[in-house]
């Protein structure tokens, strides 16, 4: 009889199985990257379509001649979201505060259709159950991990349930963070252009529209937000609401400062160019301080790679020839004494 060696385990998980799963994930990621590279689409097409839909919604909302049928066509609803809403209403789990929070997260992530907020709430409810059942099946009902203790099984199960509950929020938060960083980078340049437009005599909505056209290619996220603000300034009855909607859609304190300045300018008639020039200088100083902070953190960040990767190679290059010479001397010494 041949003795079979036990499989290698790491934290109770078969190393070969984990490596196979990781290889599968890498292959899927490579195929997805190739697909996205081959099917490149113009992002401006989708943004222009969203802006036109918002313009039509505002037109229908303020035009007295537009009947209820036309307004119903312009409201972006789908059978999927309606079915989800009916399902959540039957379960009595759909709360107005929770729905409003999900809608704001979608808006901050750049998803304009608020109806998908019910899908986020459904994901929070269904994902923990699905992942929990999968984890329970793998950990308790099958013998896939016999070496795991009861405590480790429970911790893996709790991690799966927690990931299922926080997964939709983590996904939206990741998109929101990336979008906010892109908006932050282009905000000082946008304010400089707003100052130039204000000094040239353009109105506020025309200035926002002009800045959106100029920055649409360099900073498409900021250009889209400014375009929406310009559209709402032209159609909404209260201009203050248009500025507040901008702060609602962008999770950034600098945008809130710009909105406060614009509202005060509209209310009290203060000079817009001087106020925006001060804000632009502050944002540029903030961006410079953030860059200096990152530069100051570089020595501490580079310490670990320096110790692990650079210093050993440097020692090998410097001490290697000397070690080889010493080894040759030791080997040649006994041979010389024999002769």
167-193 pLDDT per residue, tens: 888 999 999 999 998 888 888 888 888
Q: Provide CB contacts within 8 A for 162, sequence distance 6+.
A: 128
b/e 297-330 (16+ beta carbons within 10 angstroms → b): eeeeeeeeeeeeeeeeeeeeeeeeeeeeeeeeee
* The pLDDT of residue 65: 44
Residue 189, CA atoms < 13 Å, CB-side half-sphere: 15
- pLDDT(127) > 80: yes
Q: Provide CB contacts within 8 A for 182, sequence distance 6+.
A: 219, 221, 222
- pLDDT(29) > 70: yes
Q: What is the percent of the chain where pLDDT is above 90?
A: 3
Distances from the Cα of 72 to the Cα of 66, 75, 116, 200, angstroms: 10, 5, 17, 41
DSSP state of 306: I
Q: What is the mean pLDDT of residues 279-286?
A: 82
Give dist(CA 220, CA 45) in Å, integer.
Answer: 11
Give dist(CA 138, CA 147) in Å, integer.
Answer: 13
Q: What is the mean pLDDT of residues 306-310?
A: 85
Q: What is the mean pLDDT of residues 207-212?
A: 89
Give dist(CA 302, CA 164) in Å, integer.
Answer: 35
**φ, ψ for residue 94, nearest 5 deg:** -90, 110
Helix, strand, or coil (residue 11): coil
* The pLDDT of residue 73: 45
* The pLDDT of residue 313: 86
User: CA angle at residue 125 from 88 to 178, to 5 degrees?
Assistant: 110
Give dist(CA 11, CA 139) in Å, integer.
Answer: 13
- pLDDT(115) > 60: yes
**φ, ψ for residue 287, nearest 5 deg:** -65, -40
**Is the model's pTM score more than 0.85?**
no
- pLDDT(43) > 70: no
């Amino acid at each position: 009889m041949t003795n079979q060696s036990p499989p290698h385990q790491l934290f109770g998980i078969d190393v070969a199985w984990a490596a196979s799963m990781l290889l599968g994930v890498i292959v899927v990621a490579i195929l997805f990257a190739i697909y996205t590279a081959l099917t490149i689409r113009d992002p401006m097409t989708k943004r222009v379509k969203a802006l036109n839909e918002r313009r039509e919604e505002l037109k229908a909302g303020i035009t007295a001649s537009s009947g209820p049928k036309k307004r119903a066509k312009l409201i972006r609803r789908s059978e999927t979201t309606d079915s989800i809403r009916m399902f959540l209403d039957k379960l009595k789990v759909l709360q107005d505060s929770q729905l409003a929070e999900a809608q704001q997260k979608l808006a901050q992530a750049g998803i304009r259709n608020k109806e998908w907020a019910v899908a986020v709430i459904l994901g929070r409810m269904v994902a923990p159950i699905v992942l929990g059942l999968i984890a329970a099946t793998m950990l308790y009902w099958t013998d896939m991990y016999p070496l795991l203790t009861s405590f480790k099984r429970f911790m893996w199960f709790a991690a799966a349930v927690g990931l299922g509950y926080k997964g939709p929020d983590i996904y939206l938060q990741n998109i929101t963070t990336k979008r906010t960083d892109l908006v932050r980078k282009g905000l000082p340049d946008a304010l400089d252009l707003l100052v130039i437009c204000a000094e040239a005599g353009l109105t506020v909505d025309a200035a926002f529209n002009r800045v959106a056209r100029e920055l649409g290619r360099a900073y498409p996220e900021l250009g889209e937000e400014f375009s929406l603000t310009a559209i709402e300034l032209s159609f909404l009855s209260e201009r203050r609401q248009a500025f507040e909607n901008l702060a609602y859609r962008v999770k950034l304190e600098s945008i809130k400062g710009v909105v406060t300045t614009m509202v005060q300018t509209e209310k009290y008639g203060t000079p817009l160019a001087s106020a925006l020039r001060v804000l632009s200088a502050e944002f540029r100083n903030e961006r410079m301080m953030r860059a200096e902070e990152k530069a100051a953190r570089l020595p501490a960040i580079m310490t670990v790679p320096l110790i692990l990767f650079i210093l050993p190679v440097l020692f090998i290059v410097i001490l290697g020839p000397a070690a080889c010479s010493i080894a040759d001397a030791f080997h040649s010494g006994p041979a010389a004494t024999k002769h």
